[in-house]
Structure 1
Amino acid sequence: MLRLEALRTFVEVADHGNIKDASERLYRTPSAVSMTLKQIEDRLGCPLFETDRKSTLTEMGRFLYDQSVIVLRDFDRAMERIEAQSKARSGKLRIASVPSVATMLLPEFLQAFAANRPDLDIDLVDTDSTDVRHLVETGEVDLGIAGLPGDLPGLASETIFRDPFKLVCRSDSALAQRTDDLDWSDLDGTTMILNEASRNLPSAEFQKRAGLARLSVRNVASLMAMVQAGMGVTLLPSLATVNLPAALSARPLRDPACMRTVGLHWRLGRTPSPVALRFIAEFTASAREKARSLGLDAD
């Protein structure tokens, strides 16, 4: 079998028409280049050049040259792709994120991240924390951004920020007119609409009210529509309430248990790709800075 190094030497000699110029190009001695050419001819059992001056290829030489150019071109391109991926300049990145982060923190960051990596493909899934966990655990995505505990079995995590839940209600309601933080007793007589973001809050008072809820809505846009229609109130993380429509208001709660910790999650025992590792480092820093600017608690 002919080695790539030998084929590259042959192509250089054929391109330059002599051994001296080719050896300078290859940073090898003329005798070493001559020996390589002889090894190729011995291996094939036929001459590659019509004369010792190496200026004219034989018919076999022309055939080998054409094939060598294709092999070397494909090899060089493959090596360029491999290097680009190893340097986090290319590849495929699959991300699952909760809607609040996907809409508030990811767009600006991904624009800059992708601009420096024109050969990077990004697949973003916008879904709730429960589904984010499932997608990460099954390997359907490389990274998940969600309000999940940092000690889940089988997952590695990097905490980004913490934000309190707020009560979302109609702007024309009595609750919206309150200027102080709300107690659970202030919600007596109201109907609670559940959603995936708040379902597992470790608040005893909330869980009591959640147990009486008759409506659960998973999609955030639909949830907002239900509240706006007067069907009840709901709880959402602060980040999700930044751009509420004018018809809705968000009021803070006194209960310290109504808190979400948002982090980046990936599978333990599975080394993230170079581009995923770069995303973890750069997005964590960017998201923390953005979270602080919004008044959130960022590590």
Structure 2
Amino acid sequence: MIRLEALRAFVEVADHGNIKDASERLFRTPSALSMTLKQIEDRLGCPLFETDRKSSLTDMGRFLYDQAVVLLRDYDRAMERIDAQSKARSGRLRIASVPSVATMLLPAFLQEFISTRPDLDVELVDTDSTDVRLLVETGQVDLGIAGFSADQPGIATRPVFRDPFLLVCRTDSLLAAKGPVLDWDDLKGQSLIVNEAARGLPSDGFQALVREARFSVRNVASLIAMVQSGMGVTLLPALATVNLPAALTARSLRDPACLRTVSLLWRAGRVHSPVAQRFLQDFVLAARQTTRSLGLEAMG
């Protein structure tokens, strides 16, 4: 077997037409290169150069040169890709995120994140917390961003920030006129449109409204449209209410249980790829900074 280092030395000598220049290029002594070339010739049983001056290849030398150039090119390219992957400059990253984070935090972050990683492919799934967890559990994504506050069976979490749930209603409604902070009693008689983000809130007042609800909508755009049309009211995390249409407004709820903890999720025991690990570290820092600027509670 001829080692890659030996083939590289042979190609350099053939390219330069002499051992002296090739040895300077490879930072090796001329005698070491001469020994390497002799070992190749002994291995093949035939000379590679027409003369000792190494300026002209034999037919076997030309054949070996053509093969070695292709082999070394492919090897160097493969090593470049391996190095880029190990240093988190390339690869594939699959993320599932709740809509509020996907629209408010990820666009600016991902734009900067991929700007120095031209060979990185990113796949983003925008869905509710229940589906985010399912995608993480089944290994369909590398990381999830969802409303979970603690480790779940088979899932590891890293809290990033908290935001309160706000009541979203029409600006011209009687409910909006009640003031900036509401109690559950203020919502009696209101038609609640349930969504997955708020469904699990433990408040008795909220769950009473859920039991009477006639509509459940998972898509945020559809949910907003229904509230805007006057079909009812809904609860959304504060981050999701930053860019509400002018016809809608958000009101705080006095109940302290109306709070969401947004965390990064991944399969417990899984070793992150280098790019997933870098995303996790960088996103946590960026998300905490952005949420603080929005008046939300950054964690950690």
Same fold by TM-score greater than 0.5: yes
Q: Is the 8 A contact 2:149 2:159 kept in 1?
A: no
Q: Deviations over 1:21-67 (max 9, x none)?
A: 21222122222211211111111121111111111000110111011
Within the alignment, does 1:170 sit opposite 2:170 as a pair?
yes
Distance 1:26 1:90 in 2: 29
Q: 5+ residue gaps in structure 2?
A: none
CA distance in 1, matches of 2:243, 2:106: 15
| Paired position in structure 2 for 1:9 | 9
Take 2:118 and 2:20, find their aligned partners in 1: how far apart are those partners? 40
Give SS of 1:120's match.
strand
Q: Give the conservation status (yes or no) of the 8 Å contact 2:2–2:40.
A: yes
Q: Distance in 2 between matches of 1:292 and 1:237?
A: 15
Total equivalences in the alignment: 299
Once residues 204 and 277 of structure 1 are traced to their aligned partners in structure 2, the CA distance between those partners, rounded to angstroms, is 40
Distance 1:137 1:68 in 2: 46
Which secondary structure does the structure 2 equivalent of 1:54 belong to? coil
Q: Which moved more, 1:95-104 or 1:264-273?
A: 264-273
CA distance in 2, matches of 1:268, 1:43: 52
1:215-266 per-position Cα deviation (integer Å, ceiling 9, x unaligned): 1001001111111121111110000011000111111000111110001111
Of all paired residues, the percent bearing the same amino acid is: 74
| SS at 1:272 equivalent | coil
Q: 2:249 aligns to what?
A: 249
**SS at 1:197's partner residue?**
coil
Counterparts of 1:146-295 in structure 2, within 5 Å, are 146-295=146-295
Q: Partner of 1:75 in structure 2?
A: 75
Write out aligned runs for 1:37-116 (5 A). 37-116=37-116
2 CA distance for matches of 1:240 and 1:178?
22
Q: CA RMSD in A?
A: 1.0
SS at match of 1:159: strand
- Consecutive unaligned residues of structure 1, counting only runs of 5 or more, are none
- If the length of structure 1 is used for normalisation, what is the TM-score? 0.98
Q: TM-score, normalised by structure 2?
A: 0.97
SS at match of 1:243: coil
Distance 2:297 2:149 in 1: 16
User: Counterpart of 1:28 in structure 2: which amino acid?
Assistant: R
The structure 1 segments of at least 4 consecutive aligned residues displaced by more than 4 Å after TM superposition are none
State which drifts further: 73-82 or 175-184.
175-184
Letter of the aligned partner of 1:271 in structure 2?
V
**What secondary structure does 1:260 align onto?**
strand
Q: Report deviation, 1:290.
A: 0.7
Q: Secondary structure at the match of 2:181?
A: coil
